[in-house]
């Protein structure tokens, strides 16, 4: 394997190996090309069968240890393609007893410029379908179910981290679910764009050195192997631009930002228990020590880990923006990097969403009495009850609240009965549209 042995002298040796999904996708490409070439009568049937078998082994992970070239290599992905060609040629020769050539046979009707851009799209689509979509569907379902469960649990709203009008815990959880539901719709839409692959464009998009029917034949085989419904891209666009993958990355950045926001809100609600908000308990977070020096301390470890994941996904998206700019004329030049980054983003987000759903959303236990007390203590309520009790009394109540009293305590001190106070502080009227009157 001459190329694979020589290339590390010129490429980087960072230890960053290609993601399993991308190696799988390269196996799909080589399998499909061998089948198409043999079907079209331009590749010896026995050699074609041997390449198919070797490619299947690559797809199954049996040859992963031989895919050794670093992600940080030539920007077209030629290093990955040649590494795969040589590994498959060697294995196909063993299988068939014939001399299988990495370029003449394994790479027939192909160029690195169309195989690797195709593989990174196949890998991305498979990862999103297998991992990210189920993770999103799972957390949306959890948020909706938990939101329904706590639809009548009233708590203080907060704007600018200051007390505001009441909301329900259910309303907050449904807000997260709605945001992620929109993300899921956008993800499914952009996936159709990513499914357009440029295989058969060979070096510059013209398809030179490939059979005239190669593209339509090979796409059929790819869909038979993957079942994912790929279509043929305009090859000139598919080789030149990676902006379909950048759009996918951008949607994952959006999901990451929303995951971060959810984690931050859960973290704040869990803060305390005595000197901060302390509105919810997260029993799952008590399973490990929160401090090496303070016995009994518990921390929102899953929320914080989710925030780190979000930060990494956003950072990878920034790298993808840069990588998408690389290249001139007929070639994108950030192919291996953006391919690796996108499937890594899928891994990170899927793990973060799954853990957040199972441990935080499903595991949360609201402190309902404290939530109600906070809601009744919000100075924002003074404005709403002013038309009911009158401006002067509302001003007195405002001053009492500044001294640390709750509105209930202030009203009682002003002579209101418990029944009158319950009527005035019917918070259920304040969590929906309406105007309070006497």
* CATH code for the domain of 350: 1.20.200.10
Residue 23, number of CB atoms within 10 A of its CB: 23
Whether residues 100 and 244 share a domain: the answer is no
Please report whether residue 57 resides in a domain. yes
For the cut 80, the answer to whether the pLDDT of residue 286 exceeds it is no
CA distance 349 to 239: 28
Each residue's pLDDT tens digit, 28-64: 999 999 999 999 999 999 999 999 999 999 999 999 9
What percent of the chain clears pLDDT 70, i.e. is strictly above it? Answer: 96
Please report whether residue 373 resides in a domain. no
DSSP class of residue 359 equals: I
Whether residues 196 and 291 share a domain: the answer is yes
**What CATH number is given to the structural domain containing 75?**
1.10.275.10
Instruction: Choose the catalytic residue: 6, 141, 152, 291.
Output: 291
- Token look-up 């959880």 returns 173
CB 116 within 8 A of CB 133: no
**Confidence (pLDDT) at 185:** 98
The vertex-323 CA angle with 320 and 326, nearest 5°, equals 155
CA 263, 266, 271, 276 dihedral sign is positive
Please report whether residue 438 resides in a domain. no
CA 364, 368, 373, 379 dihedral sign is positive
- Helical axes 214-226 vs 112-127, angle rounded to 10°: 30
Does pTM surpass 0.85? yes
Burial class (CB in 10 A: 0-12, 13-18, 19+), 3: middle
Position 438 confidence tier, pLDDT thresholds 50, 70, 90: low
174 in catalytic set: no
Burial class (CB in 10 A: 0-12, 13-18, 19+), 49: middle
CB 74 within 8 A of CB 113: no
For the cut 80, the answer to whether the pLDDT of residue 430 exceeds it is no
Position 295 confidence tier, pLDDT thresholds 50, 70, 90: low
Residue 242, number of CB atoms within 10 A of its CB: 28
For the cut 90, the answer to whether the pLDDT of residue 398 exceeds it is no
Each residue's pLDDT tens digit, 62-73: 999 999 999 999
Please report whether residue 179 resides in a domain. yes
Please report whether residue 130 resides in a domain. yes
Please report whether residue 193 resides in a domain. yes
Question: Which of 339, 338, 341 shows the shortest CA–CA distance to 120?
Answer: 339
CB 113 within 8 A of CB 204: yes
What percent of the chain clears pLDDT 90, i.e. is strictly above it? Answer: 75
For the cut 60, the answer to whether the pLDDT of residue 244 exceeds it is yes
How far is residue 207 from each of residues 2, 11, 111, measured CA to CA in Å?
27, 28, 9
Whether residues 36 and 127 share a domain: the answer is no
Whether residues 340 and 198 share a domain: the answer is yes
Residue 149, number of CB atoms within 10 A of its CB: 15
CA distance 124 to 42: 31
**Confidence (pLDDT) at 252:** 98
| Mean pLDDT calculated for residue range 74-101 | 97
Each residue's pLDDT tens digit, 158-208: 999 988 889 999 999 999 999 999 999 999 999 999 999 999 999 999 999
**Confidence (pLDDT) at 389:** 82
DSSP 178-206: HHHHHHHHHHHHHHHHHTEE-TT-TTTSS
Whether residues 129 and 248 share a domain: the answer is yes
Whether residues 25 and 156 share a domain: the answer is no
| Mean pLDDT calculated for residue range 88-112 | 98
Each residue's pLDDT tens digit, 327-357: 999 999 999 999 999 999 999 999 999 999 9
Whether residues 34 and 158 share a domain: the answer is no
CB 139 within 8 A of CB 353: yes
182 in catalytic set: no
Whether residues 390 and 256 share a domain: the answer is no
Please report whether residue 402 resides in a domain. yes
The dihedral region occupied by 153, where left means phi > 0, alpha psi between -120 and 50, and beta the remainder, is beta
DSSP 77-110: -HHHHHHHHHHHHHHHHHHHSS---IIIIITTT-
Domain-ending residue, one of 85, 107, 129: 107
Whether residues 161 and 289 share a domain: the answer is yes
Q: Computed over its alpha carbons, how large is the radius of gyration of the chain? A: 30
Number of domains in the chain: 3
Domain-ending residue, one of 64, 92, 107: 107
**Confidence (pLDDT) at 298:** 79
Whether residues 138 and 58 share a domain: the answer is no
CA distance 196 to 155: 48
Position 323 confidence tier, pLDDT thresholds 50, 70, 90: very high
Q: What range defines the domain where residue 92 resides?
A: 1-107
Question: Which of 317, 315, 194, 305 shows the shortest CA–CA distance to 251?
Answer: 317
Each residue's pLDDT tens digit, 116-169: 999 999 999 999 999 999 999 999 999 999 999 999 999 999 999 988 889 999
Burial class (CB in 10 A: 0-12, 13-18, 19+), 346: buried
| Mean pLDDT calculated for residue range 398-415 | 83
**Confidence (pLDDT) at 8:** 77
Each residue's pLDDT tens digit, 204-238: 999 999 999 999 999 999 999 999 999 999 999 99
**Confidence (pLDDT) at 291:** 63
| Mean pLDDT calculated for residue range 283-297 | 69
Question: Which of 303, 269, 246 shows the shortest CA–CA distance to 374?
Answer: 269
**What CATH number is given to the structural domain containing 399?**
1.10.40
Domain-ending residue, one of 345, 367, 389: 367
Across the chain, mean pLDDT equals: 93
**Confidence (pLDDT) at 284:** 83
How far is residue 374 from each of residues 48, 184, 228, 240, 278, measured CA to CA in Å?
72, 35, 51, 57, 11
**Cα(first)–Cα(last) distance of the chain, in Å?**
87
Position 289 confidence tier, pLDDT thresholds 50, 70, 90: low
Whether residues 140 and 288 share a domain: the answer is yes
| Mean pLDDT calculated for residue range 271-280 | 91
Whether residues 241 and 306 share a domain: the answer is yes
Tokens describing residue 46: 């026995």
Residue 411, number of CB atoms within 10 A of its CB: 23
CA distance 134 to 417: 53
């Amino acid at each position: 394997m001459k190329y694979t042995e020589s290339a590390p002298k010129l490429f980087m040796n960072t230890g960053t190996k290609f993601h399993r999904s991308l190696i799988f996708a390269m196996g799909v490409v080589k399998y499909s090309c061998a089948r198409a070439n043999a079907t079209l009568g331009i590749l010896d049937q026995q050699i074609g069968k041997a390449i198919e078998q070797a490619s299947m082994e690559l797809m199954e992970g049996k040859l992963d240890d031989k895919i050794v070239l670093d992600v940080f290599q030539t920007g077209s992905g030629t290093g990955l393609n040649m590494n795969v060609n040589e590994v498959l040629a060697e294995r196909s020769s063993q299988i068939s007893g014939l001399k299988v050539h990495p370029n003449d046979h394994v790479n027939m009707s192909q160029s690195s410029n169309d195989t690797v851009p195709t593989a990174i799209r196949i890998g991305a689509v498979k990862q999103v379908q297998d991992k990210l979509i189920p993770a999103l569907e799972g957390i949306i379902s959890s948020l909706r179910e938990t939101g329904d469960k706590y639809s009548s649990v009233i708590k203080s709203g907060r704007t600018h981290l200051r007390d505001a009008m009441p909301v329900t815990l259910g309303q907050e959880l449904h807000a997260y679910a709605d945001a992620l539901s929109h993300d899921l719709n956008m993800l499914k839409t952009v996936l159709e764009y990513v499914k357009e692959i440029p295989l058969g464009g060979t070096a510059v998009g013209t398809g030179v050195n490939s059979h005239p029917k190669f593209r339509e034949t090979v796409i059929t085989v790819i869909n038979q192997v993957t079942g994912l419904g790929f279509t043929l891209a305009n090859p000139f666009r598919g080789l030149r631009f990676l902006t379909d993958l950048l759009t996918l990355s951008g949607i994952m950045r959006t999901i990451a930002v929303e995951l971060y926001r959810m984690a931050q809100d859960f973290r704040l609600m869990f803060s305390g228990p005595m000197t901060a908000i302390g509105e919810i308990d997260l029993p799952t977070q008590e399973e490990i020590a929160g401090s090496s020096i303070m016995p009994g301390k518990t921390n929102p470890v899953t929320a914080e880990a989710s925030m780190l994941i979000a930060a990494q996904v956003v950072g990878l998206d920034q790298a993808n923006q840069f990588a998408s700019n690389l290249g001139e004329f007929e070639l994108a030049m950030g192919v291996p990097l953006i391919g690796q980054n996108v499937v890594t983003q899928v891994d990170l987000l899927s793990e973060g969403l799954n853990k957040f759903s199972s441990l935080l959303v499903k595991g949360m236990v609201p402190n309902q009495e404290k939530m109600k007390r906070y809601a009744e203590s919000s100075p924002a309520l003074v404005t709403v009850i002013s038309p009911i009790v009158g401006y002067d009394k509302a001003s007195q109540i405002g001053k009492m609240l500044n001294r640390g009293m709750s509105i209930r305590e202030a009203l009682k001190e002003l002579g209101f009965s418990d029944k009158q106070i319950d009527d005035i502080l019917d918070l259920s009227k304040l969590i929906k549209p309406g105007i309070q009157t006497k």
